[in-house]
Chains A and B, each alone.
Chain A
């Protein structure tokens, strides 16, 4: 799967889609979903949760592994993708459409372009 060019990427294999007004959709990349294997559970944050940089914002679990998604910046949860509660496997099937949450970021730190992210793999 090629890395969508309109998205931004973090070192921790998350993608971010700029929705304007400092809000972003985020999810995990193809590299991350493939490394995890079959995703059987996604632990979503609560709307309005305030997450500090370095804290876990969501947890994605496969049969064999638990992957805590950590944002490298402070953010607030605006919306969560409740579809993933019943159909966590959607993250494997379509990781760039199956967003995990919409967050508001005040201070967006350095992110990578699609090209930079691909190079880093």
Chain B
């Protein structure tokens, strides 16, 4: 009934607890979310992220089209660069957040699994350029290897020269019998790591080789750990920190909105208005001071006044505290603001803190 990635059999063999996610059967965990989370922070974890979407923007005006679609400035990207950007509606709300890979004759856009068909429709609808969009998702698998030992383990499977040195760069390499693989130094965990984009038939083999190469220093990790890791690292999740109703300005992502881009881009006017006239609510990081775990949807109060709600919340496994991201009415998003979070029928003390909650030692 649900779609399966090319690594489905591996998930079953590793005893993954399978759940439905974005129309796919994906592992939420194998052994334990806590164990998987800690492995990524301390050693290395392996993730199947094949459910993500890969869209190629190509044609004579692919650069102009790309620059029009996303809020960030991607005109000066060099081949081999990766950049993060929101992609907005005309009213400034977010269609998705994407990674853009610059190649010689195309941009590769990597999009959220749950937004793939919506993004494709949106991009096609707004194609007023001599360019075309190709959906490479069905034939593309993606594996993420993340953690301080990621490079060490990867270099047992991939030639040292083929490994991108700088974070947010990529290389197109040949593996196995001259098969193409896109290898980027990117990730969604806050650790050093890589993402490999490759043909479906190659993915299981590479998955196995990475696990063997890593031995006791690597374990497969599921979506549960993926979420706790990204939240600690301060990375937004579509449908939570950004959405059709939340603009990148409100989400604290203003640095990815290039209002001084010469070219027009979708949402430019609305976002400029938000920056010029001010926004009435803004994302902030919170930490509970009292007991409990704050979760998505929990309301934020100051005395009897409701001032916001949690877009994400969890028990931080690495920090041992309850953390969350909230959307709060200004000025209650300010650092140090003492707030209360309503957890079921209790009001729990909390405070607005600086992000990210976790930053790796470089």
Interface residues of A (CB under 8 A from B): 37-38, 40-41, 43, 59, 61-64, 66, 85, 89
Give Cα A96 to B241, complex, Å: 40
Interface residues of B (CB under 8 A from A): 17, 28-29, 32-35, 224, 228, 291-293, 295, 314-315, 317, 322, 344
- Are B224 and A63 closer than 8 Å at their CB atoms? yes
- Are B292 and A63 closer than 8 Å at their CB atoms? no
8 examples of A-B residue contacts, CB within 8 angstroms = A37-B33, A38-B35, A40-B293, A43-B292, A61-B315, A63-B224, A64-B28, A85-B291
- Are B32 and A38 closer than 8 Å at their CB atoms? yes
Closest-CB distance, B237 to chain A (whole angstroms):
14
Closest-CB distance, B176 to chain A (whole angstroms):
36
- Are B314 and A63 closer than 8 Å at their CB atoms? yes
- Are A64 and B33 closer than 8 Å at their CB atoms? yes
Residue in chain B with minimal CB distance to A85 = B291
From A64, A66, A89, residue with most partner B Cβ within 10 Å: A64
Q: How many A-B residue pairs have CB under 8 A?
A: 38
Q: A37 and B315 in contact (CB under 8 A), knowing A43-B292, A61-B293, A63-B228? A: no
Q: Which of A37, A59, A61 contacts B29 (CB 8 A)?
A: A37
From A38, A43, A61, residue with most partner B Cβ within 10 Å: A38
Q: A38 and B34 in contact (CB under 8 A), knowing A63-B224, A63-B314? A: yes
Give Cα A40 to B225, complex, Å: 14
Chain B residues, CB < 8 A from A89? 34
Chain B residues, CB < 8 A from A63? 33-34, 224, 228, 314-315, 317
Q: Which of A38, A41, A62, A64 contacts B292 (CB 8 A)?
A: A41
Closest-CB distance, B290 to chain A (whole angstroms):
11
Closest-CB distance, B25 to chain A (whole angstroms):
17
Chain B residues, CB < 8 A from A37? 17, 29, 32-33, 224
- Are A38 and B293 closer than 8 Å at their CB atoms? no
Chain B residues, CB < 8 A from A61? 293, 315
Known: A61-B293, A63-B317. 14 other contacts (CB 8 A): A38-B32, A40-B293, A40-B315, A40-B317, A41-B293, A41-B322, A43-B291, A43-B292, A63-B224, A63-B315, A64-B28, A64-B224, A66-B293, A66-B295
Give Cα A19 to B29, complex, Å: 38
From B17, B35, B315, B322, residue with most partner A Cβ within 10 Å: B315
Closest-CB distance, B130 to chain A (whole angstroms):
47
Chain A residues, CB < 8 A from B35? 38
Give Cα A43 to B315, complex, Å: 14
Closest-CB distance, B209 to chain A (whole angstroms):
29
